[in-house]
Chain A
Amino acid sequence: MAKVYVFDHPLIQHKLTFIRDKNTGTKEFRELVDEVATLMAFEITRDMPLEDMEVETPVQKTTSKVLAGKKMGLVPILRAGIGMVDGILKLIPAAKVGHVGLYRDPKTLMPVEYYVKLPSDVEERDFIVVDPMLATGGSAIEAIRSLKTRGAKHIKFMCLIAAPEGVEALKEAHPDVDIYIAALDEKLNDHGYIVPGLGDAGDRLFGTK
Chain B
Amino acid sequence: MRNILYLTVMLLVLQLGVSQAVATSKLTHPPIPKQDKSVEKVAIVLTEDFESQQEIEKRLEKHPEVKLRRVFKHAIPGYSVEGPLQALENIPEAKQVTPVQSYRAEATATNIELIGGERVRGILDSKGHRLSGKGVTVGVIDTGIDYEHPDLHRNFGGGHDLVDGDKDPMETKGVGGSTLHGTHVSGIIAANGRITGVAPDAKIIGYRALGPGGTGTTEQVLAAIDQAIEDKVDVLNLSLGNEINGPDLPISLAINNAVEKGIVAVTSSGNSGPNRWTVGSPGTAAKAISVGASTPPLKVPYLSVSSQADRIKLQPLMGSEKWELDRSIEIVDGGIGRANEIKNAEGKMVLVKRGTLTFTQKAKNAAKAGAVGVIIFNNTAGSFIGNLEEKLDLPVASITLAEGEQLRKTLKKTQEFARLDLVEEQDQLADFSSRGPVTVTWDIKPDVVAPGVAIESTVPGGYLALQGTSMAAPHVAGAAALIKQAHPKWNPEQIKAALMNTALPIQDETGKGYRTYEQGAGRIQVEEAVKTETLVMPGSLQFGRFRLSDHHHRHTTVVDVQNHSTESKRYSFAIPKHEDGIEWEMPMSFELEAGESKKVEISMLIDPDVFKGKIHDGYLTLNEGSNQINLPYLYVLEEPDYPRIMGFAFAPADKPGHYRYEVYLPGGAEEFGIALFDPESYRFVGFLDARRNVKKGLLEVELSPEEMPAEGGYLAKVFAKKANQEDRIDTHLFIFPEEQ
A101 vs B713: C-alpha distance in the bound complex, in angstroms? Answer: 11
Given contacts A79-B736, A85-B732, contact A115 B711 (CB under 8 A): yes
The answer to whether A97 touches B740, judged by C-beta atoms less than 8 angstroms apart, is no
Is B713 in contact with A99, judged by CB distance below 8 angstroms? yes
A101 near B732 (CB under 8 angstroms)? no
**Residues of B close to A208: CB separation below 8 A:** 651-652
Cβ contact within 8 Å between B21 and A93:
yes
Q: List the 8 shortest-distance A-B pairs measured between CB atoms, nearest first.
A: A69-B14, A69-B17, A94-B20, A206-B651, A69-B13, A94-B21, A85-B732, A93-B24
CB 8 Å contact bits of B7-25 with A (1 = contact, 0 = none) = 0001001111110110011
Q: Can you give 13 contacting A-B residue pairs, CB < 8 Å?
A: A51-B14, A69-B18, A70-B17, A78-B734, A78-B736, A78-B740, A89-B730, A93-B25, A94-B17, A96-B679, A98-B713, A115-B712, A206-B652
Within A45-83, the residues touching B (CB, 8 Å) are 51, 66-71, 76, 78-79, 82
Spell out A's residues near B (CB within 8 Å).
27, 30, 51, 66-71, 76, 78-79, 82, 85-86, 89, 93-94, 96-99, 101, 103, 114-115, 117, 119-120, 205-208
Which residues of A lie under 8 Å from residue B579 when comparing CB positions? none
CB distance from A123 to the nearest CB of B (A): 14
Residue of B nearest to A82 (CB): B734
One of B10, B715, B737, B740 near A69 (C-beta < 8 A): B10
B731, CB-defined interface residue at 8 Å: yes
Choose among A27, A79, A86, A117 the residue that contacts B731 (Cβ–Cβ < 8 A): A86
Residues of A within 8 A of B93 (CB): none
The prevalent SS among residues of A at the interface is: mixed
| CB-defined contacts of B679 to chain A, threshold 8 Å | 96-97
Within 8 A of A (CB), among B265-284: none
Of the residues A27, A51, A94, A205, contact of B24 by C-beta under 8 Å: A94
Give min CB distance, B77 to chain A, whole Å: 36
CB closest chain-A residue, reference B19: A94
Scoring A66, A82, A114 by chain B CB atoms within 10 A of each residue's CB, the highest score goes to A82
Q: Are A30 and B649 in contact (CB under 8 A)?
A: yes
Q: Give A184 to B466 CA distance when docked, in angstroms.
A: 79
Please count the residue pairs between chain A and chain B whose beta carbons lie under 8 angstroms apart in the complex: 79
Return A15 CB to nearest CB of chain B, in Å: 18
Instruction: Find B14's partner among A68, A97, A115, A207 (CB 8 Å cutoff).
Output: A68
Interface flag for B680 (CB, 8 Å): yes
Q: Which chain B residue shows the least CB distance to A53?
A: B14
Q: How far is it, in angstroms, between the C-alpha of A117 and the C-alpha of B735 when the chains are bound? A: 13
Tell me, rounded to whole Å, the shortest Cβ–Cβ distance linking A202 to chain B. 10
User: What residues on B are CB-neighbors of A76 within 8 Å?
Assistant: 734
Contact indicator B680/A119 (Cβ below 8 Å): yes
Q: Are B737 and A115 in contact (CB under 8 A)?
A: yes
Within 8 A of A (CB), among B717-731: 730-731
Interface contact A66-B734, CB-CB below 8 Å: no
B25 proximity list for chain A (CB < 8 A): 93
Please, which residues of chain B bring their CB within 8 A of the CB of A66?
Answer: 14
A206 to B583, CA, bound (A): 57
Q: Are B680 and A114 in contact (CB under 8 A)?
A: no
Q: Report the Cα distance A69→B736, complex, angstroms.
A: 32
A residues near B24, Cβ cutoff 8 Å: 89, 93-94
> CB-CB < 8 A to A115: which residues of B?
711-712, 736-737, 740
List, in ascending order, chain A residues with CB within 8 A of B736's CB: 78-79, 101, 115
A101 touches B737 (CB 8 A): yes
- Complex alpha-carbon distance, A82 and B424, angstroms: 71
B residues in contact with A207, CB < 8 Å? 651
Q: Kindly state the separation between the CA atoms of A70 and B18 in the bound complex, as whole angstroms.
A: 10
B381 nearest CB across to chain A (Å): 39
Cross-chain contact B652 with A99 (CB below 8 angstroms): no
B712 x A69 contact (CB < 8 A):
no
B128 within 8 A of A: no
B contact residues vs A (CB 8 Å cutoff): 10, 13-18, 20-21, 24-25, 647, 649, 651-652, 679-680, 711-713, 715, 730-732, 734, 736-737, 739-740
B-side interface mostly: mixed
Bound complex: CA A98 to CA B680 (Å): 9
Chain A residue with minimal CB distance to B647? A27
Complex contact B740–A101 (CB within 8 A): yes
Contact A86-B16, Cβ < 8 Å, known A93-B21, A96-B680, A97-B713: no
Provide the bound-state CA to CA distance between A71 and B18, in Å: 10
Contacts of A205 in B (CB 8 A): 651
Q: Is the CB of B740 within 8 A of A114?
A: yes
A134 CB, nearest partner CB in chain B, Å: 20
CA distance A101 to B740 in the complex (A): 9
In angstroms, Cα B15 to Cα A67, docked, is: 11
- Apart from A67-B14, A97-B715, A208-B652, what are 10 other A-B pairs with CB-CB below 8 Å? A68-B14, A69-B13, A69-B16, A70-B13, A78-B740, A82-B734, A94-B21, A99-B712, A114-B740, A117-B712
Q: Contacts of B711 on A, CB cut-off 8 Å?
A: 115
CA distance A99 to B711 in the complex (A): 11
What distance in Å separates the Cβ of B606 from its nearest Cβ neighbour in chain A? 34
Q: Contacts A93-B25, A114-B739 known; A86 to B732 CB distance under 8 Å?
A: yes
Given A86-B731, A96-B680; A71-B740 close (CB under 8 Å): no
Are A117 and B732 interface neighbours, CB within 8 A? no
- What is the bound-complex CA distance between A69 and B734, given in angstroms? 27
A70 to B734, CA, bound (A): 26
Complex contact B732–A89 (CB within 8 A): yes
CA A96 – CA B713 in complex, angstroms?
Answer: 11
* Separation of A187 and B680 alpha carbons in the complex (Å): 39
How far is it, in angstroms, between the C-alpha of A64 and the C-alpha of B36 when the chains are bound?
55
Residues of chain A within 8 A (CB-CB) of B651 are: 205-208
Task: Output the nearest chain A residue to B16 by Cβ-Cβ distance.
Answer: A69
Cα separation A12 to B489 with both chains bound (whole Å):
76
- Chain A nearest CB: distance from B9 CB in Å? 10
Minimum C-beta distance from B257 to chain A (A): 41
Which residue of chain B lies nearest to A94 when distances are taken between CB atoms in the complex?
A: B20
Measured between alpha carbons, how far is A85 from B739 in the docked complex, in Å? Answer: 23
Of all chain A residues, the one with the shortest Cβ separation from B21 is A94
- A205 and B734 alpha carbons, distance in the complex (Å): 13
Contacts of A69 in B (CB 8 A): 10, 13-18
For the complex, what is the distance from the CA of A89 to the CA of B647, rounded to whole Å? Answer: 17
A103's partner among B649, B680, B712, B740 (CB-CB below 8 A) is: B740
In the bound complex, what is the Cα–Cα distance between A69 and B713 (angstroms)? 24
A50 to chain B, nearest CB (A): 11
Shortest CB–CB separation between residue A151 and chain B, in angstroms? Answer: 16
Complex alpha-carbon distance, A67 and B740, angstroms: 40
Q: Once the chains bind, are B17 and A82 in contact (CB under 8 Å)? A: no
A94-B17, A99-B713, A114-B739 given; A120·B680 CB < 8 A? yes
Q: How far is the CA of A93 from the CA of B24 in the complex (A)?
A: 7
Cα distance A27–B16 when bound, in Å?
36
Report the separation of the CA atoms of residues A68 and B15 in the bound assembly, to the nearest whole angstrom: 10
Q: What CA separation (Å) do A78 and B736 show in the bound complex?
A: 9
Contacting residues, chain A, for B20 (C-beta < 8 A): 93-94
Chain B residues lying within 8 Å of A67, measured Cβ to Cβ, are: 14, 17
B residues in contact with A51, CB < 8 Å: 10, 14
Write the nearest CB–CB distance from A93 to chain B, whole angstroms.
Answer: 5
Which residue in chain A gives the minimum CB-CB distance to B23?
A94
* Min C-beta distance of A101 to chain B, whole Å: 7
Q: Which residues of A contact B680 (CB under 8 A)?
A: 96, 119-120
A207 to chain B, nearest CB (A): 6
Which B residues are in CB contact (< 8 Å) with A97?
679, 713, 715, 732
Shortest distance from the beta carbon of A186 to any chain B beta carbon, whole Å = 30
* Chain A residue nearest in CB terms to B15: A69
A103 to B737, CA, bound (A): 12
Residue of A nearest to B715 (CB): A97
Measured CA separation A1–B116 after assembly (Å): 96
The reply to whether B13 and A71 form a contact with Cβ atoms under 8 Å apart is yes
> Which residues of chain B have C-beta atoms less than 8 A from A119's C-beta?
680
Q: How far is the CB of B702 from chain A (nearest CB, A)?
A: 13
Residue of B at shortest CB range from A207?
B651
Determine the distance from Cα of A68 to Cα of B10 in the docked complex, in whole angstroms: 7
- Residues of B within 8 Å of A85, CB to CB, are 732
Most buried by B among A69, A71, A85, A205: A69
